[in-house]
Amino acid sequence: MSMRVLLLLLTFAQAGGLLAGEPDPLQSVMWEHHHRNLLNGEPYVFDERVQVQVPPFAEDARQVPVHIDARALGDQVVRIEAWADLNPIPRIFTFTPGERVESLVAIRIRVEQATPIRAAVLTRDGVWHVGGAKVDAAGGGCTAPSVVRAQPGWEDRLGQVHGARFARGEFSRLRMQVSHPMDNGLVGGIPEFFVNQAELRTVDGEVLATLELFPAVGENPSLSLEVEGQEETRLWLRDNNGNEFEAAL
């Protein structure tokens, strides 16, 4: 096969979103479903540059650490979608980083059973770059009773943000935890009550990055981001009941 024909085939494959029948590296029965419903059936490639790090086994299925790093795609990143294939509520977050925020998110989630965790990164050319990893779990993290609601006085701590900033060369790593039960509606008698919007802002109100969160995120959600420079930032949050919270970092 000539080099010209090979290049044409590769170009066609990328434009169509499949690499000539490329199999799902995680062999999930839900991949095609989520491709249609979460990525709108748009062009995609499985890409090792999108790194998803999870523990091999979830010791606590209600608090599973997930680290997603798409910095290898540089300034081409438009948006990151993350989900757990086999969760009853699969979506985790939608992250839109600005020019001064790295394409990196660390968060803790619930898992109901062993499942692939995915991150799909939309680049400026309209192609989704998909990475993933499997986490094993005994299960039940999405339907377990709330630990937060069992703690006395949790209502008084609602929305409190505990955070710190750590210098990392030209960037700062922000680590934050928000006091909130993050009820997902799957426990009997308790409706959905969760933080669903977050923005990282400058002190002047400029939006540096936005996050849309979903009920797969764990109780008292923790979050890590990296932002350029050392200047003060503010984290703004809103839950689905309309409560707003803000904290300086």
How distant is the alpha carbon of residue 141 from its chain centre? 17
What pLDDT was estimated at residue 231?
A: 87
d(CA 176, CA 189): 30
d(CA 148, CA 89): 20
Total count of domains within the chain:
1
What pLDDT was estimated at residue 157?
A: 95
* Cβ-Cβ contacts under 8 Å for 204 (sequence gap 6 or more): none
Q: Going residue by residue through the chain (249 aa), what tens digit of pLDDT does each one get?
A: 334 333 433 443 444 344 434 789 999 999 999 999 999 999 999 999 999 999 999 999 999 999 999 999 999 999 999 999 999 999 999 999 999 999 999 999 999 999 999 999 999 999 999 999 999 998 899 999 899 999 999 999 999 999 999 988 899 999 999 999 999 999 988 999 999 999 999 999 999 999 999 999 999 999 999 999 988 999 999 999 999 999 998
Q: Is residue 228 part of a domain?
A: yes
The CATH number for 112's domain is 2.60.40.2470
What pLDDT was estimated at residue 20?
A: 38
Which amino acid belongs to residue 187?
A: V
d(CA 44, CA 65): 26
H helices of the chain, in order, are: 3-16, 31-37, 154-157
- Global pTM value: 0.90
Which amino acid belongs to residue 51?
A: Q
Q: Is residue 62 part of a domain?
A: yes
What is the span of the domain harbouring residue 241? 23-248
Asked if 112 and 144 count as a contact pair (C-beta separation under 8 A), the reply is no
Q: Is residue 15 part of a domain?
A: no
Closest by Cα among 159, 175, 180 to 233: 175
What pLDDT was estimated at residue 217?
A: 98
Q: Is residue 183 part of a domain?
A: yes
Q: Is residue 71 part of a domain?
A: yes
What pLDDT was estimated at residue 80?
A: 98
What pLDDT was estimated at residue 154?
A: 95
Instruction: Look up residue 150 and give its two tokens.
Output: 């069992």
Residue 17, phi-psi category: left (phi > 0), alpha (psi -120 to 50), beta (remainder): left
Q: Is residue 39 part of a domain?
A: yes
Q: Is residue 187 part of a domain?
A: yes
Closest by Cα among 135, 123, 146 to 58: 135
Q: Is residue 205 part of a domain?
A: yes
C-alpha dist (Å) from residue 161 to 110, 164, 215, 247: 20, 10, 19, 6
